[in-house]
Structure 1
Amino acid sequence: MSFQRFLIKRTAIAAMLTLISVSVIFASLRLLPSDPFSGLVASGALTAEQVTQLREMYGLDEPIYVQYLKYVRNLFTLQFGISLTQQRPVGEIIIPALMNTLVLLLPALVVTAVVSSVAGMYAGWNRGSKFEQAGIVVTTFFRASPIFVTGILLLIVFSYGLNWLPAFGMRSPMANPQGYAQTYLSVDFLKHYILPFTATVLFYSGDFLMLARNSVVERKGSEFLMLHRAKGLSEMKQLARAGRNSLLPLVTYFALRTGMLFQGVITLEVVFAWPGIGRALVQAILNQDYPTVQAAVFIMALAVIVMNLTADIAYAKLDPTIKAGDV
Structure 2
Amino acid sequence: MMSFRRFLLKRIAISIVLTLVSVSVIFLVLRLLPGDPFSSLIASGGLSLEQVEELRAQYGLDEPIHVQYVKYLQSLLTLQFGYSLAQTRPVTEILFPRLLNTLILLVPALVTTAVVSSLLGMYAGWNRGSLFEKWSIVTTTFFRSTPVFITGIFFLMIFAYWLGWFPSFGMRSAIANPEGPVEKYVSMDFAEHYFLPFITATLYYSGDFLLLARNSVVERSGSEFLELHRAKGLSDMEQLARAGRNSMLPLVTYFALRMGMLFQGVITLEVVFAWPGIGRALVQAINQKDYPTIQAAVFIMAVAVIAMNLFADVLYAKLDPTVSAGEGEM
TM-score between the two structures when normalised by the length of structure 2? 0.97
- Identity of aligned pairs, percent? 72
Give the Cα separation in 1 of the matches to 2:246 and 2:302. Answer: 32
Secondary structure of 1:261's match?
A: coil
How many Å apart are 1:290 and its aligned residue? 0.4
Give the Cα separation in 1 of the matches to 2:181 and 2:256. Answer: 26
Give the Cα separation in 2 of the matches to 1:22 and 1:145. Answer: 30
1:85 corresponds to? 86
1:163 corresponds to? 164
2:131 corresponds to? 130
Give the Cα separation in 2 of the matches to 1:251 and 1:72. Answer: 34
Partner letter of residue 195 of structure 1? Answer: L
Matched, 1:94 2:95: yes
Secondary structure of 2:264's match?
A: helix
Partner letter of residue 213 of structure 1? Answer: R
Give the Cα separation in 2 of the matches to 1:238 and 1:76. Answer: 51
How many Å apart are 1:25 and its aligned residue? 1.3
How many Å apart are 1:124 and its aligned residue? 0.3
Matched, 1:148 2:149: yes
1:115 corresponds to? 116
2:208 corresponds to? 207
Matched, 1:39 2:2: no
2:287 corresponds to? 286
* Worse-matched range after superposition: 231-240 or 28-37: 231-240
How many Å apart are 1:62 and its aligned residue? 1.1
RMSD: 1.1
How many Å apart are 1:230 and its aligned residue? 1.9
> Which residues of structure 2 form unaligned runs of 5+?
none
1:103 corresponds to? 104
Matched, 1:172 2:173: yes
How many Å apart are 1:259 and its aligned residue? 2.1
Matched, 1:298 2:299: yes
How many Å apart are 1:182 and its aligned residue? 0.8
Secondary structure of 1:168's match?
A: coil
Secondary structure of 1:2's match?
A: helix
Matched, 1:190 2:191: yes
* Worse-matched range after superposition: 240-249 or 262-271: 240-249
Give the Cα separation in 2 of the matches to 1:70 and 1:157. Answer: 49
2:173 touches 2:189 (CA, 8 Å); kept in 1?
A: yes
How many Å apart are 1:2 and its aligned residue? 2.3
How many Å apart are 1:242 and its aligned residue? 1.1
Matched, 1:222 2:223: yes
Within-5 A mapping of 1:241-320: 241-320=242-321
Partner letter of residue 231 of structure 2? Answer: A
1:56 corresponds to? 57
Structure 1 residue ranges, 4+ long, deviating more than 3 angstroms after superposition: none
In the TM superposition, what whole-angstrom CA distance separates every residue of 1:159-205 from its partner, at most 9, and x where no partner exists?
11111110100000011112211111111100000000000011111
Give the Cα separation in 2 of the matches to 1:306 and 1:154. Answer: 33
Give the Cα separation in 2 of the matches to 1:239 and 1:263. Answer: 32
> Which residues of structure 1 form unaligned runs of 5+?
none
2:169 touches 2:275 (CA, 8 Å); kept in 1?
A: yes
In the TM superposition, what whole-angstrom CA distance separates every residue of 1:201-234 from its partner, at most 9, and x where no partner exists?
1111111000100111111111221222222222
Give the Cα separation in 1 of the matches to 2:173 and 2:308. Answer: 34
In the TM superposition, what whole-angstrom CA distance separates every residue of 1:118-168 from its partner, at most 9, and x where no partner exists?
000000011001110110111111112111111111111111111111010
How many Å apart are 1:305 and its aligned residue? 0.4
How many pairs does the alignment contain? 327
How many Å apart are 1:60 and its aligned residue? 0.7
* Worse-matched range after superposition: 97-106 or 3-12: 3-12
Partner letter of residue 164 of structure 1? Answer: W
Give the Cα separation in 2 of the matches to 1:263 and 1:30. Answer: 25
How many Å apart are 1:244 and its aligned residue? 1.2
How many Å apart are 1:16 and its aligned residue? 1.1
How many Å apart are 1:262 and its aligned residue? 0.8
2:73 corresponds to? 72
2:254 touches 2:312 (CA, 8 Å); kept in 1?
A: yes
How many Å apart are 1:263 and its aligned residue? 2.5
Partner letter of residue 305 of structure 2? Answer: V
2:3 touches 2:327 (CA, 8 Å); kept in 1?
A: no
Give the Cα separation in 1 of the matches to 2:93 and 2:8. Answer: 34
Partner letter of residue 134 of structure 1? Answer: W
